Structure formats: C-alpha cells, structure tokens
Amino acid sequence: MASESQNWVLVVTARTPTNIAVIKYWGKRDEKLILPVNDSISVTLDPDHLCTTTTVAVSPSFDQDRMWLNGKEISLSGGRFQSCLREIRSRASDVEDKEKGIKISKEDWEKLHVHIASYNNFPTAAGLASSAAGFACFVFSLAKLMNVNEDQSKLSAIARQGSGSACRSLFGGFVKWIMGKDKNGSDSLAVQLADEEHWDDLVILVAVVSSRQKETSSTSGMRESVETSLLLQHRAKEVVPKRILQMEEAIKNRDFASFAQLTCADSNQFHAVCLDTSPPIFYMNDTSHKIISIVEKWNRSEGTPQVAYTFDAGPNAVLIARNRKVAALLLQRLLFYFPPNSDSDLNSYIHGDKSILQDAG
Ligand code: ADP
Ligand code: DP6
Ligand code: CO
C-alpha cells in the first residue's frame, strides 16, 4: 500500500432495487452453488421505491470483515456471504485515489478488511425479495469498491451465490435467470430481456398485507418442496419451460392478456407447490386470498385482464396494472375493500404513489 498512514478509509455507496418474479424460481438442484431447477423471469421494480442501499468501506485499520443490516450487526461467517466476498476479492484490481494518496494493489485486497452497512427501505424477510435487493447490492457495491471489471451477467452469477433471486436484480426492466447446465454454475446467470422503457404503461402496486418476518424462509421452504413435492417436479420439467417461452413472447409483444394470465397462473402454481409440500407451507393469508378474488372478479367482468397479481414467499400482493388509469381504479378499489385505519390487515401501499388516484377520472 502506497499510503503510509493507517488512517484512510475508502467508501462506496450503491442502491439496488428489488425484483418480483412473474415466472417463479422455487427449488435448487445444487444448494451450495444455488443452481435452480428451472428458469425464471422477473420485473425489476423502480429503485425509488423498494430498494437496498449499501455502503462498503475499506481501511487498513479494520482488523476483520464486519456487516450491519438495518443498523444491527450480523455475522458474515455464513457460506453465502463468504462465497460472494471470495468471488469478488479474487477479481479485484488496482485502485488509486490520487487526492487521498491511496494506492491499493490487486494483492493488497486479499489482506484488507471491509465494513459493510446495508439498509432495506422495505420489510426484510417478509416475502418482498429483500434477499434479492440485498445480495445484488452487496455484490455490486463490493465490485465497485474493488474495481472488478466484469460485465453485469458475470456479477449476476456471483450475486446468485448469495441468494438465487438476487442475480435478477442486477438488471432493470424484464430479466431472465437462465438455469444453466454447467456443474460449476458458470452459465447460471441473468440476462436482460427488455429494458425499463420497453413497457412503461405498466404500473406496479405493492400491497403490504403483513410486514412481519415469515415463518419459513425461502431457502428452507424450497428445500422442503424439492424433497417432498411431486408437483414441483412436474412444474419444473413440464410447465415452466413452456411458460418461459410464452412469457418472453408476451413481454416482447406487450401482450397484457397473456402476460397477466401467465403471471397469475404461475403465482398460483407456486403456492400450490407450497401446499403440496410436506408439511404444507402457507405463505398467503385470508387478505391475500381476498385480493386474488377482487382481481379475478374484476378481470372476468371486463372480459379481458386489467390487473395481474403475484405473491412471493409471503402474504404481500404485487399487483401489475395494464396502465395508469387501471392502476388508479385498482387503488380506489383496494381503499374501498381495505379502508385505511380500519382493522383491515392491509396497512399500506408502498410502491406507486397515490397521486395516480387523479387518473381514475
Ligand atoms: P425475502 O422474501 O425478503 O427475500 P428471504 O427469506 O429470501 O426473504 O431472505 C431474507 C434474508 O436475506 C435475510 O434474513 C438476510 O439474511 C438476507 N438479506 C436481506 N436483506 C439483506 C441486505 N440488505 N443485505 C444482505 N443480506 C440481506
Ligand atoms: C418465491 O432467492 O429468496 O421469491 O436462493 O434460497 O436465497 P434463496 O431463495 P430466494 O427465493 C425466491 C423465491 C421467490 C420466487 C422468485 O423470486 O423467483
Ligand atoms: Co428472498
């Protein structure tokens, strides 16, 4: 290290949005490398709403790697954090900050320690993909700090080793996680199908039914499904490969009817797999079911889908409206069925601002 003093600190801050799968990932064929049993497709949310912000710092005065999540120190000893740190460190390059007189060589990175502070601006471990935004931001911010020269897809394969869904958060817009064939996972990575502008009529509303931490983490839930659900085997082999092709086509053509039909069907099948698991896993609750009924009835009465719903491993609804006008009507309906400050479970709508109500006409 060129710098004589031990007092310097080099800092990088990054922000990464979460993503919500419209064709779900549920099941691993390799637990350690996090290799999935099927491809998946997601939409990355607007970074202004649900996101993780992570600051990483390096200094010769740090004597160990440490991390704080939402203000509380957590252990970095877990295999997932260690895999990501190892993969990033091994790709580090020289870094020079002339103003501060800091010069870090490739070799120095093996000896230097990092401190990491991360905040999620939405509920953690509640089924809103905090692990996706969290690990994508972890990898991205460390890669920036350590001057890693890899493209986003290569970084996505590293983020995948933190949490599978994280690989898709390195891109905006519509993203596909290709399951890959290699035993070492080198071809299991994310690619962008279409950018943020491709289908900007869509409006996404997240209805937070409960911000409580779920009882069964995604990791253990899908492990139990792989071990016990025959429906999961059928889904991975027979159903998802066809749906992936149909979903890619729907996105390319901005075909909302097909998009909505596939999104809702896939969410429902994923929750059916959870029910087919032994012992069964219940991620949705009565409020989630009520939201499904409201949307299904509305779509049927219109003759063509207006809104798609999807639920990850938790009770919270992600609702995708075909345009702003429909989003405004949707919000009106949700406010009617779940009045604010009543004893209804639905306490907030955190993605999509209420000014869209003006569009209801
Ligand atoms: P979720 O539905 O929120 O993704 P998971 O069960 O998949 O829930 O993952 C939750 C776990 O993800 C947390 O317990 C934590 O280990 C990890 N995680 C969440 N946020 C972050 C973050 N900002 N940085 C690193 N890891 C995170
Ligand atoms: C239902 O990526 O959280 O959200 O790879 O074990 O960390 P790990 O699981 P995680 O699982 C996400 C499951 C899902 C569907 C999806 O995002 O595709
Ligand atoms: Co997760």
Per-residue pLDDT in tens (0 to 9) along the chain, 361 residues: 555 567 899 999 999 999 999 999 999 999 999 999 999 999 999 888 899 999 999 999 999 999 999 999 999 999 999 999 999 999 999 999 888 889 999 999 999 999 999 999 998 988 889 999 999 999 999 999 999 999 999 999 999 999 999 999 999 999 999 999 999 999 999 999 999 999 999 999 999 888 888 889 999 999 999 999 999 999 999 999 999 999 999 999 999 999 999 999 999 999 999 999 999 999 999 999 999 999 999 999 999 999 999 999 999 999 999 999 999 999 999 988 988 766 555 554 444 444 555 555 4
**R_g (Cα) of the chain, nearest Å:** 21
Enter the ipTM.
0.99
* Protein residue whose Cα sits closest to atom 9 of ligand 1: 131
Query: How far, in Å, is the centroid of ligand 3 from the Cα of 30?
Result: 17
Query: How far, in Å, is the centroid of ligand 2 from the Cα of 204?
Result: 19
> Which atom of ligand 2 lies closest to the CA of 165?
2
- Residue 359 confidence (pLDDT): 55
Query: How far, in Å, is the centroid of ligand 3 from the Cα of 169?
Result: 12
* Contact partners, residue 203, CB within 8 Å, separation at least 6: 320, 321, 323, 324, 326, 327, 352, 356
- Residue 127 confidence (pLDDT): 87
Contact status, residue 62 vs residue 113, Cβ threshold 8 Å: yes
Query: How far, in Å, is the centroid of ligand 2 from the Cα of 323?
Result: 27
* Contact partners, residue 125, CB within 8 Å, separation at least 6: 131, 213, 214, 217
- Residue 151 confidence (pLDDT): 96
Shortest-distance ligand to the CA of residue 34 = 2
- Report residues whose beta carbon is within 6 angstroms of any ligand 2 atom: 21, 24-26, 34, 40, 129, 131, 163-165, 218-219, 312-313
Closest CA to 248 of 42, 19, 44, 25: 42
* Protein residue whose Cα sits closest to atom 5 of ligand 2: 164
Query: How far, in Å, is the centroid of ligand 1 from the Cα of 128?
Result: 9
- Residue 99 confidence (pLDDT): 86
Contact status, residue 349 vs residue 326, Cβ threshold 8 Å: no
Q: Backbone dihedral region of 254: left (phi > 0), alpha (psi from -120 to 50 degrees) or beta?
A: left
* Contact partners, residue 41, CB within 8 Å, separation at least 6: 21, 22, 23, 174, 175, 176, 177, 193, 244, 247, 248, 251
Cα dist from 338 to 126, 245, 293, whole Å: 20, 37, 14
3-class secondary structure, 340: coil
Strands 113-120 and 66-69: parallel
Query: How far, in Å, is the centroid of ligand 3 from the Cα of 130?
Result: 6
Strand order in the sheet with 113-120: 10-17, 51-59, 113-120, 66-69, 72-74
* Protein residue whose Cα sits closest to atom 4 of ligand 2: 312
* Protein residue whose Cα sits closest to atom 26 of ligand 1: 134
Closest CA to 246 of 237, 255, 238: 255
Shortest-distance ligand to the CA of residue 164 = 2
Contact status, residue 120 vs residue 65, Cβ threshold 8 Å: no
> Which atom of ligand 2 lies closest to the CA of 163?
7
- Residue 352 confidence (pLDDT): 47
Shortest-distance ligand to the CA of residue 222 = 2
